[in-house]
Structure 1
């Protein structure tokens, strides 16, 4: 039967979790489920969702952070839930979960689900650690998007029967030729081009990559480029200074936020992600789907997406020498790049496609509606195998 689902999310910015929610909500709506979204803050994703026919509501309390503003936000959400009477509420991101779980419990929502989409570093503060563990006790299912995330949920006391692993989904990218992409970006046809799609945040490891490129520079072909795509969250000036001091200012292009990431990936030869921490990266999947060999750090779900030595190269986090060696290896071997890239695209679209992502969520929802557990329908995988139902 069709379920009424209310998704509660912290905001509607153009981020990985927001795009995953948009994929899920619009896909379920197309198969007849009645879906609405309640966001704690407005953002550009709202227009896309509403254009797809999804009802979107915005919390009237602007960015609740303190105790009293959070109580007011929870009260507003409680009122919306009482009006909508959803069968199921699903919380995305910590702020939405901490405010939404108590409101949904008090409003009597029959089925309550949360998604953990990052490692729990934010729980270093005791308040968040205690509050989130209390809220976990109020939900019927907790969904993690990598083995690392699922492991932490279990360590925090969630029963294994109520936890499920559902990886992110990646759509097939728009078809853009390499030559056309390079022409649009004014890149030389024969240049070695690497890309990194990550907001400029310290834990994304940009500084490690710049140092790695300085080490690799003498062994890279002349005219190589790194296209660094992402919003500057405060470290852009420092990174540009580092690149300049290392003599790489002409090679590294800081592109800011972009709406044409598919063009940048199509123009690239190698994809990168050098994070110190991750849940499960959309950027890695998108690079793989674009047919890029990926160089990633062994954190979170990166090594669950990228098979080392088959679809790319996995190196330790904070290891500029290891990054440098991986870059040099791929830069010197066009055939290896092609082999890894073809395998990466196949793996991304077959094992992490949107259909699998949506069908696993739907299976969990239906099981809960029938009084069964997430573990009854989503089988926890073995090594290098995605979850399946």
Structure 2
């Protein structure tokens, strides 16, 4: 008989990305708190899978059904749950992976759902399936009030929703900028060397997938439109995606081709944030951006687009700046303002780090998950009115 397991996590993939990084931080911490868990991975294996296994978390490959025609996969998933008999299944799978909830229903396994983005693209059959999945969930964990609000508009019972924001670690080197300035400068040089940046550059950076929803195009346009643009300024993207070549072409046409740095996907971008002077998140839609919270934790001044979880993370004028999505000229003005006023940028960065510590800490996220799981497993979950 297999060893008893409290929790099975269903993951859409364990490569590099926001949800993947979230799981790689959360699950080892939960295991240290005494929860017995496994991860069943339906997608690619990568950095997050390696980090989880290195931390002692069991990660298994599983083919999760996405259609009733994949009856063999459904039968295998149902049999696996019946054999293991976990107390909870927490699914991070996408909307089209609705049959995981059916497998839980068939085996009498308590099902916990997730909402981690605003996903305005969900329509028709996909939305109908997700509504059914939501109805059979004991609780749905949203990573922002904005994501929870979207779920309510789609018909989710508000009483089934709980908001647990993402949590991030606080890098010690960010404190060293004031307590050990020489040590911080050395780390900054190392980070810039790793990204191929000159030591005297003023660096605007972003950590994101290079795809339309993240809107890196507006950031390139805003960077190029700055009145205060200098030859030594650099724009760095850490991430990969289908728009990479388009960004190179656009930067060339706008005269900043030599200042654009596409650094590719990085396993642990948090450590490379020391290379930046300013962080920017130009997305059209965000649930609760790990990259934004990490930049705040690293005491970087941030400029982000309004809407979604960004409004919950950034206090405009106090911990960062917010601009309308898609407005390159307003973005350019905010970038210029902070690059030309290092004292103001420093104040925003310090306030952002305090907010990340007080509202978005890794410890708080872990504690809230532990408490909620305990309520669900004990059958004492109180529905929110």
Equivalent in the alignment of 2:371:
363
The answer as to 2:319 corresponding to 1:317 is no
Looking at structure 2, the residues matched to 24 and 201 of structure 1 have their Cα atoms a distance apart, in angstroms, of: 26
Looking at structure 2, the residues matched to 236 and 185 of structure 1 have their Cα atoms a distance apart, in angstroms, of: 16
- Summarize deviations over 1:336-383 as a string: whole Å, max 9, x none: 11111111111112210111101111111111223233556xxx9xxx
2:37 aligned counterpart, secondary structure: strand
Equivalent in the alignment of 2:357:
349
Equivalent in the alignment of 1:38:
40
The answer as to 2:279 corresponding to 1:276 is no
The residue correspondences of 1:129-278 to structure 2 (distance < 5 A) are 129-173=127-171, 175=173, 177-216=187-226, 218-232=227-241, 234-278=242-286
Looking at structure 1, the residues matched to 196 and 23 of structure 2 have their Cα atoms a distance apart, in angstroms, of: 34
Check whether the contact 2:9–2:91 (CA below 8 A) recurs between aligned residues: yes
Equivalent in the alignment of 1:55:
58
Looking at structure 1, the residues matched to 99 and 288 of structure 2 have their Cα atoms a distance apart, in angstroms, of: 24
Shift of residue 66, structure 1, vs aligned partner:
4.8
Greater Cα offset, 279-288 or 258-267 = 258-267
- Summarize deviations over 1:43-79 as a string: whole Å, max 9, x none: 1122221222212221146xx555423x333222111
Q: What runs of 5+ residues in structure 1 fail to find an aligned partner?
A: 381-389
Runs of 4+ in structure 1 off by over 3 angstroms are 64-67, 183-186
2:257 aligned counterpart, secondary structure: coil
Shift of residue 307, structure 1, vs aligned partner:
1.0
Check whether the contact 2:95–2:127 (CA below 8 A) recurs between aligned residues: no
Looking at structure 2, the residues matched to 225 and 289 of structure 1 have their Cα atoms a distance apart, in angstroms, of: 22
CA RMSD between the two structures: 2.0
Looking at structure 2, the residues matched to 122 and 32 of structure 1 have their Cα atoms a distance apart, in angstroms, of: 38
Looking at structure 1, the residues matched to 377 and 267 of structure 2 have their Cα atoms a distance apart, in angstroms, of: 38
- Summarize deviations over 1:146-174 as a string: whole Å, max 9, x none: 11111012222222221111101111236
Check whether the contact 2:41–2:60 (CA below 8 A) recurs between aligned residues: yes
2:90 aligned counterpart, secondary structure: strand
TM-score, structure 1 normalization: 0.90
Equivalent in the alignment of 2:177:
none
The answer as to 2:6 corresponding to 1:4 is yes
Q: What runs of 5+ residues in structure 2 fail to find an aligned partner?
A: 174-183
Aligned length: 369
Check whether the contact 1:368–1:374 (CA below 8 A) recurs between aligned residues: no
Equivalent in the alignment of 1:385:
none
Looking at structure 2, the residues matched to 337 and 48 of structure 1 have their Cα atoms a distance apart, in angstroms, of: 34
Check whether the contact 1:194–1:226 (CA below 8 A) recurs between aligned residues: yes
Equivalent in the alignment of 1:94:
94
